Structure formats: C-alpha cells, structure tokens
Amino acid sequence: MFSVVFFFVLGVFVVSKLNAPVQRRGFDIRHKPQLGTPLLSKARATAIGDKYLLGVGKADVTGPVVELNFAGYASSAQTGTGLRQRIYSRAFIVGDVDNPDDRFVYLILDTQSGDTAVRYGILDGLAALGDDYSMYGQSNVAVTGTHSHSGPGAWFNYLLPQITSLGFDKQSYQAVVDGALLSIQRAHASLEEGYLDYGTVNITDGNLSRSLYAYMANPASERAQYPDSTDKTMTVLRFQRASDSKNIGLLSWYPVHGTSMLENNTHVTGDNKGVAAIMFEKELQGDASTAEGFVAGFSQANVGDTTPNVLGAWCDDGSGQMCSYENSTCADGKSQSCHGRGPLFGNLDLGVSSCYEIGRRQYAGAKSVFDSLSSSGTLVVGASVKSFHFYQDMQYYKFSLDNGTEVQTCPAALGYSFAAGTTDGPGAFDFTQADSGSPDANPLWALVSGVLREPSAEQKACQYPKPVLLDVGELSEPYVWSPNIVDMQVLRVGQFVIIISPSEATTMAGRRWRAAVKEAVSEFLDEEPMVVLGGPANTYAHYCATPEEYAIQRYEGASTLYGPWELPAYINLTVSKLHYLSPTATGAPPAGPSPPDNRETSLSFISGVVFDAAPLGSSFGDCKVQPNTTYARGAVVNATFVGANPRNNLRLEGTFAAVEKLVGTEWTEVRDDSDWFLVYTWTRTNTVLGYSDVVISWETESDAETGTYRIKYYGDRKALIGGGIAAFEGTSRSFTLT
Ligand SMILES: *[C@@H]1O[C@H](CO)[C@@H](O)[C@H](O)[C@H]1NC(C)=O
Ligand SMILES: *[C@@H]1O[C@H](CO)[C@@H](O)[C@H](O)[C@H]1NC(C)=O
Ligand SMILES: *[C@@H]1O[C@H](CO)[C@@H](O)[C@H](O)[C@H]1NC(C)=O
Ligand SMILES: *[C@@H]1O[C@H](CO)[C@@H](O)[C@H](O)[C@H]1NC(C)=O
Ligand SMILES: *[C@@H]1O[C@H](CO)[C@@H](O)[C@H](O)[C@H]1NC(C)=O
Ligand SMILES: *[C@@H]1O[C@H](CO)[C@@H](O)[C@H](O)[C@H]1NC(C)=O
Ligand SMILES: *[C@@H]1O[C@H](CO)[C@@H](O)[C@H](O)[C@H]1NC(C)=O
Ligand SMILES: CC(=O)N[C@H]1CO[C@H](CO)[C@@H](O)[C@@H]1O
C-alpha cells in the first residue's frame, strides 16, 4: 500500500513548485496594530479589506446508503451497498454589514447537482424558520452540487433522472433538504463581521479535456488566448472573522468531473471534491489560526468537458489503443470498452485510489493558496453584497446575438450522442442503452416509455444540427421530464462575482460567460472584478456547450438541452440583469414563471424496509467474524456483524462504523464514517427471514498509530410486528496494530 504521508509530501511539493506568487492588487489600507496590543494572529496583520457579515456551517446529508440507485451515471445497476465517506452540505453566508438584509447563501451539496425539488424544500424550510430567517429566499440562496457521481439519488424533481432510481424517494430527498437547512442554520448562528480575500493556483494535473475534438471547433484565435483545453486555475476565497483574526472557512472553485469513483462503485462517497473538503477540514483542526467549526468548500466550476481521468481514455479490449479522437470509440466502432484512467489507474489498494489522489491534488492546491493569502492575497473590497435570481422559460426565447442576428432557444431535448455517454462512463442517464431490449426490468420505464414522441417540426428545426433522441422538453406525462424553466442567478460581494449556472458549462462556455459578466460589472465596480462560475446549481439542466461545440454533437453538445444558442442566451439573460448588482441598485428582476413542483406527485417504485431479524442463537450487533489479533499497518482489518438495514435510521450527524483505540484504560473513538479508510458494507443475506450482515473494514493507513483497537458498529433494526425501530450496537474483540 502506498503511504498516505508519501502522497501528501509529494503533492505539496508538486503544487508549490507550480504555485508562483499570487498577484496582489493595489489596495492599500494598512491595519496597524496599536503598540502594545498583542498580535492575535499572524494571519492578518498587515492589511484589511472591507468588513462583511460572514458565517459558515456544515451538516450531514447522507441519505440511504443501500438499496437505492446512485445519482450521476444513471446506471440502474449502480445501487448502494454501503458507505466509504459521509457526504455534507456546506453553507457560506456573506452579508452587508450596513444593510444586513443584503446577503447571500452559497450552498455546496456533495451531490450530483442542485435540484428544483431540493431547492423548493430548502426555501420552504427557511420560510418555516420564522422572522430571523426572513432575509433568505429566492433571490439569494444558491444551491450548488459538487457533481459527485457516488451518492444516493432519487431526490430529483423531474422524471428523466428519476427513471434509473425507480422514482422519487422521500427519505433521500429529506436527508439532503434537512442537512442543507441545518448547515444554513449553523452558518447563520455563526455570523460575525470579518474579511474576505482570495488567490489562485494552477493545478495542472487535476483535470483533462474529455472532449478535445469538440473544444478544437472553437475559433483558433479564441483558443490561442488560453494555454490549456481545460481551466487549470483554482480560485480560493478565504473567510476570516474580525474578532480574533481566525480563519472560519474557505470556498474554492475548480472544474473537474466528480467521476473519479467509477460506475461500478457502490459505496457512498463525495467523490474527489468530498475527499478534498474533509482532508482540508481535518488538516486544519486544532490549528491556532483556525476557528472551531472551520468549513472548507470545494465547489464545481465549468466542469462540462473535464475529466479527472488524467491519464486519458483507453480501449479495454486488449488492443492497447487509446479511444478515437473524434468520437471516443474503439476498434469495434463502439464506445463501451472506452474508459478514462485516473492517475493511480491499476493501483490495487482500495482506498488510495485515483479518487483519493484527485481529491488530494485539489486539497494541496487550495492549501498552498490558503497559506500564502496573508502575504499575497487580493482583498475583497466594496461595501455591498447583492444578488438576483429569476426563472426563465427556455422554450423559444428570442434574442439578438452581438452581430444583430435574431436567434432562439428551444424546449429541452437530448441528442443521439447522449446515449453513447462519455469516457468517464456510459453516460449520465444512459437508460436507453442500459435498458434496451428489457424495459420490463425497470417498472418506471415500462410505465412511462409509452409516452415518448416524435419531436415537433418546430423543435427539430430549432435543435438543428442536433438529431433529437429524447424530446424531453415536450413531454409532460405523467409529469414534466426535464426542466424547460431554469434558474438565472448571480451573486456579488465587493468585486467578487459568482455566476450560478444551472447547467454544466464546458470549459470554453464558462470562459465566455465569465468574460461577458466581467466586462459588464466593470462598468459599475471600481476594482477589477474577479468572476467565478459555480454549478450545476438550483436545478439540473444538463450541459451548456458553445455553439461551435454544439455543432460537433459529442456528448456535451448532445446534452445541451435548449439548442445551439443556449450559451449566448444564458449570457444575454444574466448580463442584461447585472445592473441589479450595482452598489446603488434597488429592486429585483421579475420573478419569472415558477417551475413545476413534483415533490408530492412523483412516482416511486422504491420499496421500504420490511423487517430485520437476527438468526436463531444470535443477536443484532454480534460480531460473527472477529478480526485477527494482530495486523501490520497497511493491512485491512475486517469485522462482520449480525446487521440490520441502515435505511431504518440514517444516523445523520452520527456514524454507522467506528474504530476505538485503547488509551490508558479508556476506549476512545479515533475513526468514524467521515474517514475515507473506514468502510461500511451491508448485505441482505436472507430476504424472507430478514437477515443481513454488516462488514466494517478498516484499511489501516501506513502511518496509523500503533496500539490496541476495536471496531464498533451502530445499527437500528425494524421489528416484524409493529415495525418499531430500535438501536443496537456491536463491538469486536480488540486487536493490535503494529
Ligand atoms: C495559470 O494559468 C493561467 C491561464 O489559465 C495563466 O494566465 C497564469 O499565468 C498561470 N499561473 C501560473 C502561476 O502559472
Ligand atoms: C471497476 O471498473 C474499472 C474500470 O472498468 C475496473 O478497472 C475495476 O476493476 C472495476 N472494479 C470492480 C470492483 O469491479
Ligand atoms: C467515429 O469516428 C471515426 C473516425 O475517426 C469514424 O470512422 C466512425 O464512423 C465514427 N463512429 C461513429 C459511431 O460515429
Ligand atoms: C438580450 O437580448 C435582448 C433581445 O434581443 C436585447 O434587447 C438585449 O439587449 C440583450 N441583452 C444583452 C445584454 O445582450
Ligand atoms: C452572427 O453570428 C452568428 C454566430 O456566430 C452567425 O451564425 C451569423 O451568421 C452571424 N450573422 C451575421 C449577419 O453575420
Ligand atoms: C486474518 O488473517 C488471515 C491470514 O492473514 C486472513 O486470510 C484473514 O482474511 C484475516 N481475517 C480478517 C477478518 O481480517
Ligand atoms: C473485507 O471485507 C470486504 C467487504 O466485504 C471484502 O471485500 C474484503 O475482501 C474483505 N477483506 C478481507 C481481508 O477479509
Ligand atoms: C494537459 C495536461 O496538463 N496533462 C497533464 C494531466 O495530468 C497528468 C498527471 O496526472 C500529467 O502527466 C499531464 O501532463
């Protein structure tokens, strides 16, 4: 097993070599500590920006980890069997000190995307919290997802992404909504005056283009402005409170798909961004310049055509060839054997995987900026915080391009290449292939596939040159399949501007959008604006490619729902409302048409837990296969328990698995569900009798402390009679790690 410490040292070294000093802009208010006043922190002694109201909070959103389809790859076969690392909502609140109602909430969910049902749930929840929360609502709550492909699904508002998960699951939805609300409440409770500053670092080995052929269709003159076919720059915004100069949080943006965990993974994780965030938070715990409750947010950016599989895409057909440049196919002309390879491809160690490594690279990049901010960060200045949000119906929205040509967007539709998928997996929502010939295997698909229809002539012409495979925007039976109404939202604090994208913008789409917004806000900002793009957020509107990439119709173009002019439309719609972000602006744009709310009407073929039982002569929590008595560090310690279905109690904010260490005469918990190397696996061993096993595996780190340990299991069983749920726990015998 490779040493974790080894990777840390190597990674920090690599990143710091790449990390030339961050540019500092000329803001010159010096904060001179008074003579005799002890310096509270070396972190912020030389310069300060303007004060803002700042708060951060984090809460558990881990929904059902078993017997539920994962969101992202939309592969019916990818059903949860356990948990490797819990997933979270991280909330960042930024407010105006003088006008405290002017504030925004930037949420990062360790989920595939933001979503309309989830956002409705969060807004309803905020409204129910009463007057203290009355300043949070439509205009200023941004719900972004990290685009992880390894968490529970079935919380989507629209039918299409519900199909592989067999519908909508209230428990899964509620876990995300409740955790998001709790993270906002914690951020709200922590609000204090403080400062913001930011810096950047280039992480060259963290992503790659998976659609270079489409990218190359963009004008050569435009491509020449950029050194890479993906954005390598991570932007890091630091939150520091004024009272004691302690750091309370960091918010970063970097584009890389959450597809490091492959489609055959069935353990819940937050993928590479989940790894990075927890690594950062654990690393800073107890640090003198860090406040308790420090939150590290690793947010998604213009992710569309990026991949974490940085060794490229190869044919797993024995040919030793890379997949074709134009269409990612192999010798058989098909894409099924084409797979992207992560940086640690072939590494047999379970935990120290490509996912862990891509997470660690983002962590190391963020850490290098963070550590240099005090001397070289750019201060956020300008005492106003603004945001706007409106809904836009994308069906036949007509507008003019810069050259005056009138164009329009279209009802949502997916093209043929959507079904072929990507080199990261056979494609998000690729149910047409996965289920071809056997619609009966999926009762929801069997029920709804009958309403599929030919696109209207108007739609065909509008979407040209996309050949329409699924005319989702013209389907509303039994309820709406895909969003036609999207959220348009932009946030601003000082000169820092955040575009909230409902779609996965490709690299070049993100660059064009950011540049257009930067130019427009420059008209009313004194400082040079810093513009970032976060998403997929608020809903899931698939992809946003440039018109040139759209013409190529690879996966990203085929998944650009609203036709060739989607990106120019998003730019037109946001730029024309940017004046609402000016320091003197009042009012808000018209709210627009509300998207449908399918929370109560969605279908579900997901069955609940019937009951649990322990085999005769045993009890829940009994350790039926004990760990060995000694292990060398680096070995995998397994303990098997008489288990029960974890859907009985999600143990949010708690743990299913733990490792305890004997310290003196006391057992102390040293690992829990937030630890990457502790893995919980649940198996139903007898459905009729209700038996199940839980295996807890500790992939001991090669730098773990030696000593005496034991494994703990926390479960909840459902009774056959009455259905009552009761907690129990299991404890393994002790073992030594040498
Ligand atoms: C990072 O990349 C950007 C372009 O994407 C480039 O302008 C900048 O110089 C790079 N910074 C460093 C430190 O290499
Ligand atoms: C998952 O798929 C990858 C790539 O296709 C393969 O290398 C790996 O062995 C598979 N893992 C499991 C557990 O089947
Ligand atoms: C993929 O591209 C190759 C050219 O590189 C072409 O021969 C082939 O027909 C294409 N396959 C599909 C399915 O479009
Ligand atoms: C957006 O399009 C409308 C309609 O063509 C036009 O009036 C407006 O000027 C455009 N706004 C921007 C910022 O491009
Ligand atoms: C305006 O630009 C679009 C997109 O590049 C192009 O398709 C169109 O032909 C242009 N119109 C004119 C009048 O040049
Ligand atoms: C105990 O050690 C043996 C021999 O190394 C190994 O095969 C077995 O898997 C270990 N058992 C557990 C529960 O780790
Ligand atoms: C430990 O348990 C996991 C999960 O059931 C299993 O995949 C692995 O083979 C086991 N390892 C050992 C050493 O028993
Ligand atoms: C184009 C580019 O930057 N490629 C890099 C991707 O990451 C790998 C390492 O994982 C580098 O070897 C490549 O140079």
pLDDT in tens, 26-62: 332 223 333 333 333 333 334 567 999 999 999 999 9
Give the number of the ligand closest to the Cα of residue 657: 7
Distance, CA of 157 to chain centre: 17
Average pLDDT on 311-339 reads 90
User: Which pLDDT belongs to residue 48?
Assistant: 66
Give the number of the ligand closest to the Cα of residue 200: 1
How far, in Å, is the centroid of ligand 3 from the Cα of 329?
7
Q: Does the annotation list 356 as a binding residue?
A: no
Strands (E), 26-154: 52-60, 66-71, 79-83, 88-96, 103-109, 141-145, 151-152
Q: Is the CB of 265 under 6 A from ligand 7?
A: no
User: How many distinct helices (H) and strands (E) make up the chain?
Assistant: 16, 37
pLDDT in tens, 635-645: 999 999 999 99
Domains of the chain: 4-379 (no CATH), 623-737 (2.60.40.2300)
How far, in Å, is the centroid of ligand 6 from the Cα of 713?
19
Report the predicted TM-score, pTM, of the whole model to 2 decimal places.
Answer: 0.92
Q: How many CB atoms are closer than 10 A to CB 653? A: 11
Query: Cα(105)–Cα(96) distance, rounded to whole angstroms?
Result: 12
Label residue 735 by pLDDT band (50, 70, 90). Answer: very high
CA-closest candidate to residue 646, choices 151, 59, 65, 173? 65
Q: Does the annotation list 543 as a binding residue?
A: yes
Position with higher pLDDT, 42 vs 696: 696
Q: Of all protein residues, whose CA lies closest to atom 11 belonging to ligand 5? A: 405
DSSP state of 579: G
Query: Cα(639)–Cα(696) distance, rounded to whole angstroms?
Result: 5
Q: Which of 327, 332, 418, 433 has the most ligand 3 atoms within 8 A of CB, as the residue to mutate?
A: 327
How far, in Å, is the centroid of ligand 6 from the Cα of 628?
6
Contact 652, 62 (CB under 8 A): yes
Q: Is the CB of 640 under 6 A from ligand 7?
A: no
Q: Provide the percentage of residues in the chain whose pLDDT is more than 90.
A: 84
DSSP state of 322: B
Query: Cα(497)–Cα(198) distance, rounded to whole angstroms?
Result: 12
Label residue 467 by pLDDT band (50, 70, 90). Answer: very high
pLDDT in tens, 586-611: 999 999 999 999 999 999 999 999 99
How far, in Å, is the centroid of ligand 8 from the Cα of 208?
7
Average pLDDT on 173-196 reads 98
Average pLDDT of the residues of the chain: 91
